Every structure is written in C-alpha cells, then in structure tokens.
Amino acid sequence: MCGIVGYVGKQNAVPVLISGLQSLEYRGYDSAGVAVLEENSIGIRKTKGKVDNLRNLLLNEPVSGNIGIGHTRWATHGAPSDMNAHPHFSNDDSIAVVHNGIIENYQELKDELEKKGYEFYSETDTETVAHLIHYFYKQGNDLLEAVRKTLERIEGSYALGVLCTDYPDQLIAARKESPLIVGLGKGENFIASDIPAILNYTKDAYILGDKELAVIKSDDVKLYDIKGNEIEREVYTYKWDVEAAQKNGYEHFMLKEIYEQPKVVKDNLSKRFSEDGKSIELDGIKLGKKELENINQIYIVACGTAYYAGLIGKYLLERIVRIPVNADVASEFRYKDPLIDEKTLVMVISQSGETADTHSALKLAKSKGARVLGVVNAVGSSIARDADDVLYTLAGFEIAVASTKAFSAQVVAMYLITLHIAQELGKIDEKEFAEIKKAMDNLPSQINDILNKAVLKIRGFVDKYIESKNVFYIGRGLDYVVGMEGSLKLKEIAYLHSEPYAAGELKHGPIALIEEATLVVGVVTQEALFDKTKSNIKEVKARGAKVLAIAMEGNSSIEDVADDVIYIPRTHWMLTSLLANIPQQLFAYYMALGLGEDIDKPRNLAKSVTVE
Ligand code: M6R
C-alpha cells in the first residue's frame, strides 16, 4: 500500500529515488521521504504530501550519497504527517527503515522497547522495526542477523529497506506478503515495490519470496531465507519498456490506459485460441474434462473492480455452463467459513496480485482443499505464485488508481474461461463457439470505434450532468453488473455519490430517491431484457430523472425515454459488458476532469491494497 525504492551504486541516489518514488505514487501519496547515507551519517528528508513536496524540500535542504532508500506512503498507523512519513530511524540515527505493510504486534513490541529505554516519536508501527533492529544490532554487531531476528519477532506483513551507518556499502531488504523486487544493474543495484520504479535502469530483477532477505551492494546481491541460509534465485527479466510507465502525451494515465484497451483485448485474444480457432488455450492450465468433471461448484473471489469482472464470469458460467457459481468480495469470503472443499474451483481475480484480502482468501481456499485458479495481471506477484494455476491477463502496467484496461482484460479472461469450461464439458456446440469467436475477434475494433465516437458525445454532454449529486446506474443481468463497475469508477475519481441497482429492484425501495434531475445511467445492452429495462427507465423518467442510456446499435427506440444515448456496436449478448463499460469509463473520466479532481491519484485511495 506504500511504495519503496532503494539504490546502491555510483550515482547520486537522490534523483534515482525521487524518480522511482514518482513512478510508485500510485501505491500511496500522502507523504514521502528518503534516507541517504552521507559521510558518516544518514540524511533523512521527509514530508507530508506528494513526492513533489519532497522534491521541493530536497531543493532547499539537499542530501547526497550513493546509497539510499525512499518511501511514498498510504497511511495506516498514524495520520499523514511529516513525523509519520518514512523513513523511520533508531534513536541514535544510525539505522533507517522504510516499510510497506502492517506490523500487527507493534503495540506489544513498542511496550517492550519502551521498557528498554527506546523513545518513539511517530504514531507508526514501522518505528518499532527501526528500534528492534537497533536493539538486536547492539547485541551482536551483525546487521543481517539483527534484521533477521527482528523479522522473527514481527507479526504481520512487510517489505523493508534498511540502511545502517556502520555498513556504508550496502542496504538490506526483506519481504513477507508485501511485494519487493531487487533490481539488478551494472555496478548498481536497486530495490523496489514494483518494476516501474527502476525501469529506467534495469529490467532484470530477483523477485523476493515471503520471509526472504537480500543484502544488496553495488556489485553483489545475496539472498537469504529467514533462517539465514543463502538461497539461489533465477533472474526474472521484465518485458515491459519505459514508455509503458509513462503518459506518452496523454493528460492522465487513466486516459492512456482507456485508449490501450483495443490492444490489450487483442493481445489477450490472439494468444488464447488454438491455431484453427476451434478451442481455447489457457497458458497450459490443466483444467481439462477430467479435472472439471470433478468440480461441483465454482467460487469467484476478488475485490473492487476485479470482483465486478468476477460477477460477469458468474453470470456467464451459470448461464452457459450451468454450474453453480458463488461470488464474494474477498474481505467477506475470508471470514465467513465458506462452503468449499476439494470439489470446488476457486477463481481469484486480481490486477496487482498483491491485494491482501484476495491473497488471504486464496490461502483459505487452498487450506480447504479447493483448487485455486488465479486470474492475475502482475507477473510473479504473490497471488500468481500461490495459485495452483494462473491465467495472466496481459494488460501491461496499469498505473492509474482507477482500473480500466485491467478490468477489460479480466472480462476477456472470464469469456475465455467460460468458453473453455463449456467446451470441455460439452455445453457449447461448434457452431455457437464459432459464432462467439467471430464476435470476439471484432471486439478490439469495436472498442476503437466506441472510443472514437463516444468521446465526442460524452465531452459534449458532460456539462449537462456535472452538477449531479447522486447518480444511479440501473440495468438487468449483465447490464446490472457492468453498471456496478461504472458506478464505482464515478465514485472513485469524480467523488460523486453513485449506486448501482438491478433495474427491477428499483420499485422495492430505491425509486424513492429519484427526484427532479437525478441522473440515472441506464445500461440496456441485453436485448432479451431491453423492454423490461426500458420500462424501468420510463418509471424513473416519470419521476423527474435525467437519463443517460447505453444501448446496442439498432435499439434506437431507447431514444423515446432517454435524454442522451451512447450506442455500442452490435455484438453477441455475452460480450456486451466489455463494450458497454468503455463509455462508462469515459463518462467517469470526463466528469472527474470537469470537476477538477486528481484523476490518477484520487483521495484516500491507493492502487494496490496490501493491507487488510
Ligand atoms: O489489484 P486488485 O485487482 O486485486 O485490486 C482490487 C481493487 O482494489 C481494485 O480493483 C480497485 O477497486 C480499483 N481501484 C478500482 O478501480
């Protein structure tokens, strides 16, 4: 939930740390800081606010050195403030620490350390780590051992970077349940929460595993397990390039990522069909007829936008495969003692692969004997590593906090998984498969088409809706689910109160909220339900609502009841959600832009939620 970066080499560490932190701001942006090893001391600069504030601070109060650590924070323990910003340091300023995660037993450790005479200055859990390392270091004069012993005492999650004045040529890193990689350069090495932070320097990295440590020098990296045994690791080479982590002329990452969707969808489709196009190939996942016949239910678990992609999967799997599918948000699933066993296929969906709730849900599912299929974007992430099978969503970096292209990739994954399971279990015939495949092949150009046409329309009418205080998304079936995603996007970046409702449910309560000029977004792309939803739109219209409809081309009678209509190109019923969501994304984006909000870094949020 925070971003960490570290550098050891011959350059001045500060610019490397600052540019790294800037690329990691999607992980948190309420305070930032760096610690740099100067002659015989550690120079620490930290401040509330975004990395730009830190940059300005450093202009007035520079520090320099060839080894340093940096941090951009999303507050958990203690409000965003200068004092709570990382790095935190030992009382004698000899040890500095940056941390991403939560130390669950910090109060107990703090009490213990206070009794030993340590003074605390911040409200954070991280400060205990700095003091504990110092305490163990004073016992044995061995920094690695001191960090290792500290980790043995810590309960919770951590990615750590540690600097010590007695070790002017190295930094130490460690991780458990929070991501951390060790970037490998020539005569310089790095640590980072995520590869964009160091892509300017290297694409090669060791992906640290849980409870592993690294001692990083400019010309050498050694990895250890928690017991202190040296371990080997293969170098992982990231395939993404620097441009992928830049805006490339777009005003915001979100807009860039929206426009990347035709390519993302194309990439996902082109790699997942057999050469003759008659079957699906899912990255070698072993979910064939035999395994699938052994499964009597599917459980889909995820958070936020990934959960909505999962709900689309649920609707499709139940309708096409006729298998019972449950879907839960991970934070509920993990504490409800879910009814799963070895006959359950649990599908966890996550862009980052690091979401704490989803990861815990995965572990729970495995402990109950279920087979876990991870649908993940970030290669080598915790969820990808711990799932029995992984289908990567090939969306590339997603930097904007509001997920767009990753959602589309997850939805395509739901299409592919549904078709695969349906085919293996004989629930779809060749003709229907071919028909759907043909429709899927058109999706990239259809998304392009929407992007070209809808953008002008949406920009044209955003002013009309910008004053809205409450927005309702209504639809039936798949349209209801896609409305959930549209509504979340509007909340996240435009800070507008918005709620999704099953259109048929309105009259059971929510319609009482409709008054003159309430904005209702009606998603009506499911032709079989068109007349039903149209009637519900009439009902809200009759009570004064303004209606913006998203419908499929050819259903122009929606214009009788809607104030504005955005059409998506004609497609197979199971594929409409992907297309209907594109105007929803643009609508949220241009509403947020009109309202002057910080689109890529919405308040209170962070991209990757690695805490509970
Ligand atoms: O990385 P994940 O896909 O596991 O993240 C799940 C949610 O936190 C995420 O989708 C969140 O809802 C997004 N900010 C939505 O735009």
Please give the pLDDT value at position 283.
80
Find the catalytic residue in 2, 110, 256, 534.
2
| Lowest mean pLDDT across 289-298, 353-362, 511-520, 600-609 | 600-609
Read off the amino acid at residue 604. Answer: N
- Domain end, chosen from 388, 411, 441, is at 441
Claim to verify: residue 68 and residue 152 sit in the same structural domain:
yes
Give me the percent of the chain exceeding a pLDDT of 90.
84
Claim to verify: residue 398 and residue 486 sit in the same structural domain:
no
pLDDT band at 584 (very low <50, low <70, confident <90, very high): very high
Please give the pLDDT value at position 246.
80
pLDDT exceeds cutoff 90 at 298: yes
pLDDT exceeds cutoff 90 at 152: yes
Structure tokens at 238: 């990231």
Cβ–ligand 1 contact at 381 (below 6 Å): no
Question: Would you call 303 a catalytic residue per the annotation?
Answer: no
- Separation of alpha carbons 349 and 393, rounded Å: 10
- What's the whole-model pTM score? 0.85
Query: Which of the listed residues 193, 609, 610, 612 should we mutate to test ligand 1's pocket, taking the one with most ligand atoms within 8 A of CB?
Result: 609
Q: State the residue range of the domain holding 381.
A: 247-441
pLDDT exceeds cutoff 80 at 135: yes
Please give the distance, rounded to the nearest whole angstrom, from the Cα atom of residue 304 to the centre of ligand 1. Answer: 5
The Cα-based distances of 223 to 174, 175, 240, 372 in angstroms read: 9, 11, 25, 29
- Which amino acid residue places its CA nearest to atom 4 of ligand 1? 350
Please give the pLDDT value at position 442.
98
- Separation of alpha carbons 480 and 502, rounded Å: 5
Q: Is 143 exposed, middle or buried (0-12, 13-18, 19+ CB in 10 A)?
A: buried
Question: Would you call 2 a catalytic residue per the annotation?
Answer: yes
Residue for token pair 């001692």: 215
Give me the percent of the chain exceeding a pLDDT of 70.
100
Q: Give the strand order in the sheet containing 156-164.
A: 88-89, 95-103, 156-164, 171-176, 212-217, 220-225, 230-231
Cβ–ligand 1 contact at 487 (below 6 Å): no
Cβ–ligand 1 contact at 352 (below 6 Å): yes
Cβ–ligand 1 contact at 382 (below 6 Å): no
Find the catalytic residue in 46, 405, 601, 607.
607
Looking at the domain assignment, is residue 468 inside a domain?
yes
Averaged confidence pLDDT in the chain: 94
Claim to verify: residue 291 and residue 368 sit in the same structural domain:
yes
Give the pLDDT mean for 577-600: 96
Ligand 1: nearest atom to the Cα of 355: 4
Structure tokens at 395: 């969306």
Please give the pLDDT value at position 46.
95
Claim to verify: residue 523 and residue 431 sit in the same structural domain:
no
pLDDT tens per residue across span 359-387 = 999 999 999 999 999 999 998 888 998 99
Q: Is 28 exposed, middle or buried (0-12, 13-18, 19+ CB in 10 A)?
A: buried
Please give the distance, rounded to the nearest whole angstrom, from the Cα atom of residue 1 to the centre of ligand 1. Answer: 12
Q: Go through the chain and tell me how many residues it has.
A: 612
Please give the distance, rounded to the nearest whole angstrom, from the Cα atom of residue 82 to the centre of ligand 1. Answer: 28
- Which amino acid residue places its CA nearest to atom 10 of ligand 1? 305
Please give the pLDDT value at position 455.
86
- Domain end, chosen from 208, 224, 244, is at 244
Looking at the domain assignment, is residue 611 inside a domain?
no
Beta-carbon neighbour count of residue 485 at 10 Å? 29
pLDDT band at 502 (very low <50, low <70, confident <90, very high): very high
The total domain count for the chain is: 3
pLDDT band at 609 (very low <50, low <70, confident <90, very high): confident
Ligand 1: nearest atom to the Cα of 305: 10
Claim to verify: residue 279 and residue 353 sit in the same structural domain:
yes
Please give the distance, rounded to the nearest whole angstrom, from the Cα atom of residue 308 to the centre of ligand 1. Answer: 10
pLDDT tens per residue across span 48-82 = 999 999 999 999 999 999 999 999 998 787 888 88
pLDDT exceeds cutoff 80 at 238: yes
Please give the pLDDT value at position 330.
97
Ligand 1: nearest atom to the Cα of 406: 3
Cβ–ligand 1 contact at 395 (below 6 Å): no
Please give the pLDDT value at position 607.
81
Looking at the domain assignment, is residue 304 inside a domain?
yes
Looking at the domain assignment, is residue 158 inside a domain?
yes
Claim to verify: residue 475 and residue 421 sit in the same structural domain:
no
Give the pLDDT mean for 471-486: 98
Claim to verify: residue 469 and residue 427 sit in the same structural domain:
no
Please give the distance, rounded to the nearest whole angstrom, from the Cα atom of residue 66 to the centre of ligand 1. Answer: 36
Looking at the domain assignment, is residue 63 inside a domain?
yes
pLDDT band at 300 (very low <50, low <70, confident <90, very high): very high
pLDDT exceeds cutoff 90 at 39: no
Give the pLDDT mean for 200-215: 95
Write b or e for each residue in 553-588: b if 16 or more Cβ atoms lie within 10 A of its Cβ, otherwise e.
eebeebeebbbbbbbbbbbbbbbbbbbbbbbbbbbb
Claim to verify: residue 151 and residue 210 sit in the same structural domain:
yes
- Separation of alpha carbons 39 and 410, rounded Å: 50
Looking at the domain assignment, is residue 612 inside a domain?
no
CATH number at residue 333: 3.40.50.10490
Looking at the domain assignment, is residue 386 inside a domain?
yes
Query: Which of the listed residues 177, 334, 355 should we mutate to test ligand 1's pocket, taking the one with most ligand atoms within 8 A of CB?
Result: 355
Cβ–ligand 1 contact at 581 (below 6 Å): no
Looking at the domain assignment, is residue 55 inside a domain?
yes
Q: Got the DSSP string for 50-80?
A: -HHHHHHHHHHS----SEEEEEEE--SSS-S
Please give the pLDDT value at position 525.
98
* E strands, 357-513, in order: 371-376, 389-392, 470-475, 497-502
Query: Which of the listed residues 329, 351, 408 should we mutate to test ligand 1's pocket, taking the one with most ligand atoms within 8 A of CB?
Result: 351
- Separation of alpha carbons 266 and 272, rounded Å: 10
Claim to verify: residue 335 and residue 382 sit in the same structural domain:
yes
Claim to verify: residue 102 and residue 231 sit in the same structural domain:
yes
Give the pLDDT mean for 565-594: 97
Please give the pLDDT value at position 592.
96
pLDDT band at 583 (very low <50, low <70, confident <90, very high): very high
Ligand 1: nearest atom to the Cα of 383: 4
Please give the distance, rounded to the nearest whole angstrom, from the Cα atom of residue 352 to the centre of ligand 1. Answer: 8
Please give the pLDDT value at position 263.
96
Claim to verify: residue 528 and residue 490 sit in the same structural domain:
yes
Claim to verify: residue 233 and residue 339 sit in the same structural domain:
no
- Separation of alpha carbons 83 and 105, rounded Å: 21
pLDDT tens per residue across span 158-207 = 999 999 999 999 999 999 988 899 999 999 999 999 888 999 999 999 99
- Which amino acid residue places its CA nearest to atom 8 of ligand 1? 304
CATH number at residue 92: 3.60.20.10
pLDDT tens per residue across span 442-471 = 999 999 999 998 888 898 889 899 999 999
Closest CA to 558 of 530, 528, 529: 530
Q: Is 488 exposed, middle or buried (0-12, 13-18, 19+ CB in 10 A)?
A: buried
pLDDT exceeds cutoff 90 at 248: no
- Domain end, chosen from 441, 462, 485, is at 441
Give the pLDDT mean for 493-510: 95
